[in-house]
Structure 1
Amino acid sequence: MKIYQNVKLALKQLLSTKFRTFLTMLGIIIGVFSVILLISIGTAISKNVSTQLGDMGSNLVSVSFYPNNPTEKFTYKEATNLLEDGEIGSPEVMQTKAVRTNEHTDDMQVTGINDAYANIKNLELARGRFCSEVDVRYAQKVTVIGADVAKSYFKEQNPVGKYMRISGARYLVIGVLKEKGESLFGSADKKLFIPITSAERLFKTDSIDLYYIQAKSPNQVPSVVKQVDHKMSRLFPNDKDAYSVVNQQEALDTFDSITKTLTVGLGAIAGISLLVGGIGIMNIMLVSVSERTREIGIRKAIGARDSDILLQFLIEAVVLSLLGGGIGILLGIFSAQLVTILSDFEMIVSIPTILLAVGFSMFIGVVFGVVPAHKASKKMPIDALRAE
């Protein structure tokens, strides 16, 4: 009951000086708003990246080739020899080329792949078909285009069966991908995909930059990495820095660790705002204690104990902090929802984040309210009553 009465007194006191109360709460509002928004951004980035990497599966191994010697090559045939029974693999080699139809001309990213690429990258078709083994074997001039490419070059028409010129050569459109959106690895919506053997002719090189290998199961990934690394070391015995073999799950774990650290860092930066807000609360509470010295003296004269005065001012500081925290939480949630609505980036405001903000607000109120409350409780009644 005593706490309830003190809360009522605190609210009455704070409402009697609305403008000063708002200015005092402003630091807490900004701090909590920053905590909610920045942690939500960190969490959303982490989830987005984890989803994109996870879409390709935890049983994926990628081999990157970047030789120090420009005469060294890593060919598609050499890449296929890295595979063991039950494994599938696909190259990925990209160049920007001039692409045109009668209606539209632009520079686009053209990617050389094989028939396993769609499975490995989880690409889905909206129309037509994907590149087949026959297309790769006979270096057919066919292309599968992304959703944005289809809209830019063919508007509302069906692109399948129509021709596009890539660096002057005619390519038949055999498929259109479903819209997938942006990702860490670029957007498939803005690319054209052609058989790797056709890409070798178009790009005038038979060396590939990247090769994906999908193991039979996640449990076999370590042995696949070891096997691939051994074969690559035999291909390039004098230049082991020319390639890297990366386990997709390790990349996922590493990025997850980085984003968690980033989230903590962002939260800590926002916490500085809360600290500044806490100092503001302590400052205004000290002023309040000075202004209400006679009130303290009267309360003590009629029997109030030191603990009663301490509790009164401490609760006032906590209420002030919680009110600011509540407004900051509402602003943070509203801003996160606004970002989600206005962009493709989904902001995530989790319950733990809200609880953290509320807890931190209470902590700030208690910590920075103790000194003024203690000062108020130690005033002698006679001295307090003499104060002007």
Structure 2
Amino acid sequence: MNIFQSIKLALKQLLSAKFRTFLTMLGIIIGVFSVILLVSIGEAISKNVSSQLGDMGSNLVSVSFYSDNPNEKFTYKEANGLLNEEEIGSPEVMKTKEVRTNVKTANSQVTGVNEDYATIKNLELTSGRFCSNVDVRFAQKVTVIGSEIAKTYFKNQNPVGKHIQIAGARYLVIGVLKEKGESLFGSADKKLFIPVTSAERLFKTDSVDLYYIQTKNTEQVPDVVKRTKQQLSQLFPNNKEAYTVVNQQQALDTFDSITSTLTIGLGAIAGISLLVGGIGIMNIMLVSVSERTREIGIRKAIGASSGDILRQFLIEAIVLSLLGGGIGILLGIFSAQIVTAASSFDMHVSATTILLAVGFSMFIGIVFGVVPAQKASKKMPIDALRAD
């Protein structure tokens, strides 16, 4: 009996007991579906994080400052002192304040920045302009608003040139940002940006929480990190826990490592489902061998070899696994499309993931089909014919 005849006979045998075949495949279906969906989610998270960190550039250094001592401050002037002539930098000082127009009153996030912030954060404008050096120098009451703020507080009006109240003070809207969407660091669409010097007055503080330094190229980053740490250690000699200097590329590498580990972990969890499915196939195939003892005896009596019997049952197990794997792949792809449509994640099922799922399905079929197949092939014809 050639391989094609064996496959045809295996399909005929499986179709003769459709419900049992479906239940046998169910574990493989769930396992492959889980592998594809969870691995795709892990890859989407990794891609999303890498994209967001990559948008900020690998030539970026972040300085965070926090101290329990109210007399210990990291001022905007001190932060600017960290820069050399080839670098640009910007603070990011954030507070939630009441924002009011004649359309709506609500709490929104207000961020103090300087003229280089838009360049560092890759922010684009749909109208107006961003904060200038003059606005920062003279603490002008001007603001650039995100697209969601514009919709919320101005409805269908053009906000540029109009006023908005922030914590009771009137600010002139000078620009509206292009929609950027959600990110790990919040959404610029839902923020109002004002000159950092205006923020110092509004927030009643002259301490900077976060400061970005952008170098001309990635090669300069290690030197900038080293220099920045030295300068900060001189500013805060008694509290080296008050500041943190982070290389953006290091952060990107760290997140890549974390998300890769997460993807492997999710795949391993889903692989357990495949293992359970394989055990289910072995159990059902063992039952099938017992039920078909007489059939095995007849086939051996008319000339079928032990190899023919082994191959027949092994092919049945592999066909079960591949059919279940195929259904699981289709369900996984369909589910990934649903998740993409319903969320901000752009999920794609890679060819590697599909090949992995198919390969694992075949492996499961072979490994867990061997025992029943061997049991069937070792039955003696006379004993098999005597079975009820």
TM-score by length of 1: 0.99
How many Å apart are 1:85 and its aligned residue? Answer: 1.8
Match of 2:43 in 1: 43
The C-alpha deviation readout for 1:101-131, integer Å capped at 9, x for no partner, is 1111000000000000000000010111000
Mapping for residues 282-361 of structure 1, pairs under 5 Å:
282-361=282-361
Q: Which residue of 2 aligns with 1:12?
A: 12
1:349 Cα deviation after fit: 0.8
Is 1:105 equivalent to 2:101 in the alignment? no
CA displacement, residues 47-76 of structure 1 (integer Å, 9 cap, x when unaligned): 000000000000000000011323210000
1:84 Cα deviation from its structure 2 partner? 1.1
Paired letter, 1:116? D
Instruction: Tell me how far 1:344 sits from its aligned partner.
Output: 2.2
Letter aligned with residue 351 of structure 1: A
- 1:146 is aligned to 146
Cα displacement (A) at 1:348: 1.9
Q: Does residue 368 in structure 1 map to residue 377 in structure 2? A: no
- 1:61 aligns to what SS in structure 2? strand
- The one-letter code matched in structure 2 to 1:194 is I
In the TM superposition, 1:242-321 aligns within 5 A as: 242-321=242-321
Name the SS for the 1:184 alignment partner: coil
**C-alpha separation in 2, matches of 1:260 and 1:370:** 34
- Partner in structure 2 of residue 166 of structure 1: 166
Residue of structure 2 equivalent to 1:132: 132
Q: Which amino acid aligns with 2:90?
A: S
Q: Secondary structure at the match of 1:99?
A: strand
Query: RMSD of the alignment, in Å?
Result: 0.8
Please say which of residues 174-183 and 302-311 is displaced more in the overlay: 302-311
Map of 2:34 onto structure 1: 34
Runs of 4+ in 1 over 4 A off after TM superposition: none
C-alpha distance after superposition, 1:306-356 (max 9, x if no partner): 111111100100000100000000000001001112222211211100111
Confirm or deny that 1:80 pairs with 2:74.
Answer: no
Amino acid at match of 2:314: L
| Correspondence for 1:115 | 115
- Paired letter, 2:251: A
Could you tell me which runs of 5 or more consecutive residues in structure 2 were left unpaired when the two chains were aligned: none
- Take 2:372 and 2:330, find their aligned partners in 1: how far apart are those partners? 29
Instruction: Please name the residue that 1:64 is paired with.
Output: 64
Moved more, 59-68 or 300-309: 300-309
Amino acid corresponding to residue 378 of structure 2 in structure 1: K
Q: Structure 1, unaligned stretches of length 5 or more?
A: none
Cα distance in structure 2, aligned partners of 1:156 and 1:51: 32
Give the C-alpha shift of residue 27 in structure 1. Answer: 0.6
Output the CA distance in 2 between the equivalents of 1:8 and 1:220: 66
The answer for the alignment partner of 1:187 in structure 2 is 187
1:256-299 CA distance string (max 9 Å, x none): 00000000000111111111111110010001101111111111
For 1:82, give the aligned amino acid: L
Distance in 2 (alpha carbons) for counterparts of 1:199 and 1:207: 10
Deviates more, 1:65-74 or 1:288-297: 65-74
Distance 1:126 1:33 in 2: 43
Select between 92-101 and 65-74 the one with higher mean Cα deviation: 65-74
Q: Find the counterpart in structure 2 of residue 218 from structure 1.
A: 218
- In the alignment, residue 328 of structure 1 is paired with which amino acid? G
Q: CA deviation at 1:362?
A: 0.4
Structure 2: distance between partners of 1:153 and 1:68 = 36
Whole-angstrom distance in 2 between the partners of 1:138 and 1:103: 30
Q: Over residues 197-238 of structure 1, what are the superposed CA-to-partner deviations in whole Å (9 max), with x where a residue is unaligned?
A: 000000000001000000110011000000001000000000
* Structure 2 SS opposite 1:241: coil
Q: Distance in 1 between matches of 2:68 and 2:221?
A: 28
Query: Which one-letter code corresponds to 2:278 in the other structure?
Result: G
Identical-residue share of aligned pairs (%): 80
Distance 2:285 2:341 in 1: 40
| TM, length-normalised to structure 2 | 0.99
- Aligned partners of 2:380 and 2:174: how far apart in 1? 90
Q: Within 1, Cα distance between the matches of 2:22 and 2:268? A: 24
- Whichever residue aligns with residue 5 of structure 1, its letter is Q
| Alpha-carbon distance between aligned partners in 2 of 1:216 and 1:350, rounded to the nearest angstrom | 36
- CA deviations over 1:116-151 (Å, ceiling 9, x no partner): 000000001011100011100110000000000000
